[in-house]
Amino acid sequence: MAAVLPSWNDGPGKRAIVDFVAKVTREGGPDYVAPPERIAVFDNDGTLWSEQPMYVQLQFALDRVKALAPQHPEWKAQEPFNHLLAGDMKAFMAGGEKSLMAVVAATHMGMTTEEFSRTASDWIASAKHPRTGRPYTEMVYQPMLELLAYLRANGFKIFIVSGGGIEFMRPWAERVYGVPPEQIVGSSGKLKLETRDGTPVLLKLPEINLVDDGPGKPVGIQTHIGRRPIAAFGNSDGDLQMLEWTTAGDGPRFALLVHHTDADREWAYDRDSHFGRLDKALIEAQAKHWVVVDMKRDWKTIHPPVNPAEAP
């Protein structure tokens, strides 16, 4: 078993994963699941990569505000942009969801999907995490990369189901996670087809289509996938309904929460965090016997090694 999921310490979490996969892939067994039904869904922020000190897409939006500020002198006196330009994150966050939506609308809308994809790709190619200095795409979790590969090798189809923007994740998720654009489910705005210089383009409108978080996640799964998953992986209260929806189906089911407990190698947070709050879902996991991964205890390493030769 040591060769399976090498960055995972042997323990109840790893055993539960391996046992579930063996059970649903054993042809002729009572819990066998045919490959088309082997759907696994993963949250992204805090489940596949770090979400502290803030969501990566929020950092992208903040950087876009600064880049666009010369074109918008009115932002210096307009909330919530004035707080961002002054570097006052506390005042900005006090505005809650309204502030976040204003920034997303100003930095994500009004361009074509191709223009946005290029902007996101350029940013993710050069942006660095403020604490580690590593590219954000290296702030992924090595144990989860191994889990994605292990499930694929056993006939699972992987979908990312995230509160993050679907158009933000699509340009780089295949390279980083091996998950192609058509297997990304995320928050989305409305689109409009226009013709520019004789060429059809899709324009991003300042209207919300789906907030793929909390109760929106089962909606997104049904809308984009059309099958109820048999396995779901998350880390926060925003994933609770996805895990509930997954485990409410017939037959064998699996749910897992990543609990951030390692302040030395990453961060330790749950109930009091602004990002990735884990409270109700943790209580539910204990009541329903979902797997809870203790990052400090269960993972040998957190992020991929800088030197690949150091990999376990």
Dump pLDDT digits (tens) for 4-39.
999 999 999 999 999 999 999 999 999 999 999 999
Structure tokens given for 309: 């030769």
- Residues 236-273: pLDDT tens digits? 999 999 999 999 999 999 999 999 999 999 999 999 99
Quickly state the pLDDT bin for 309 (edges 50, 70, 90): low
Instruction: Estimate the crossing angle of helix 12-25 against helix 142-153, to 10 degrees.
Output: 20
- Residue 137 DSSP SS3: helix
Q: Is the pLDDT of residue 1 over 60?
A: no
Q: Is the pLDDT of residue 308 over 90?
A: no
Phi, psi of 222 (to 5 degrees): -65, -40
**Region for residue 276 given its phi and psi (left: phi exceeds 0; alpha: psi -120 to 50; beta: otherwise):** left
pLDDT at 2: 54
- Residues 31-86: pLDDT tens digits? 999 999 999 999 999 999 999 999 999 999 999 999 999 999 999 999 999 999 99
pLDDT at 245: 98
pLDDT at 3: 87
Instruction: Please give the C-alpha separations between residue 198 and each of 140, 166, 194, 202, in angstroms, as whole numbers.
Output: 41, 27, 9, 13
pLDDT at 101: 82
- Residues 205-224: pLDDT tens digits? 988 899 999 999 999 999 99
pLDDT at 44: 98
What does the angle CA 150 – CA 304 – CA 153 come to, to the nearest 5 degrees? 10
- Residues 281-291: pLDDT tens digits? 999 999 999 99
Single pTM value for the model: 0.95
Q: CA torsion, points 51, 53, 57, 58, in degrees to nearest 10?
A: 140
Residue 293: strand pairing partners: 258
Structure tokens given for 265: 């190698």
Quickly state the pLDDT bin for 105 (edges 50, 70, 90): confident
| Helix segments in 154-207, DSSP class H | 166-177
Strands of 87-146, DSSP E:
none
Residues 6+ apart with CB under 8 A from 299: 7, 8, 9, 141, 142, 143, 262, 293
The mean pLDDT value for 171-176 works out to: 98
The structural domains of the chain, ordered by start, are 12-53+134-310 (3.40.50.1000), 56-126 (no CATH)
Q: What is the mean pLDDT of the chain?
A: 95
Instruction: Report the half-sphere exposure of 90 (CA within 13 A, side-chain side).
Output: 0
Structure tokens given for 218: 């089962």
Decide if 186 contacts 162 (C-beta within 8 A). yes
> Going by DSSP bridges, is the β-strand pair 157-165/39-42 parallel, antiparallel, or unpaired?
parallel
pLDDT at 300: 98
Residue 189: strand pairing partners: 208
